[in-house]
């Protein structure tokens, strides 16, 4: 897959996550929409997480999570929201995080 095709696929996934977050009452937009370029987390939101979005066939959970955690802040731990094959709705996709992130969100 070419770089531009991969970017378009990623952009569509990010927009799908933004629409889902908004439907659930969160403010959200892509970081590209905020700054004009892709930097930091993929989704800028008032939700208490830093979101990295992936729509890739090959999984690299440890690499993706390292990227999400690298973009995280003290107030917003990093999570990876990644597309589940055969599922169009982001509510049916997977979200990966460390155990410590889950415990922070539960406390």
Q: CATH number for the domain including 66?
A: 3.40.1350.10
Report pLDDT for 2. Answer: 66
Phi and psi dihedrals of 31, rounded to 5? -65, -30
pLDDT tens for residues 57-72?
A: 999 999 999 999 999 9
- Averaged pLDDT score across all residues of the chain: 90
List the domain range (segments joined by +) for residue 9: 3-106
Structure tokens at 65: 């999570």
Whether residue 92 is predicted with pLDDT greater than 70 in this model: the reply is yes
pLDDT tens for residues 15-27?
A: 999 999 999 999 9
Q: Count structural domains, the chain.
A: 1
Q: What percent of the chain has pLDDT over 70?
A: 90
State the Cα torsion 66-101-96-41 to the nearest 10°.
Answer: -50
């Amino acid at each position: 897959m070419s770089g531009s095709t991969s970017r378009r696929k990623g952009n569509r996934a990010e927009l799908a996550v933004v629409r889902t977050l908004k439907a659930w009452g969160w403010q959200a937009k892509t970081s590209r929409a905020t700054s004009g370029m892709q930097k930091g987390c993929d989704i800028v939101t008032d939700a208490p997480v830093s979101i990295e979005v992936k729509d890739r066939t090959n999984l690299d959970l440890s690499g993706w999570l390292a990227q999400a955690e690298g973009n995280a802040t003290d107030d917003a731990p990093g999570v990876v929201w990644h597309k589940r094959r055969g599922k169009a709705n982001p509510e049916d996709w997977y979200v990966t995080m460390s155990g410590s992130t889950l415990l922070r969100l539960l406390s």
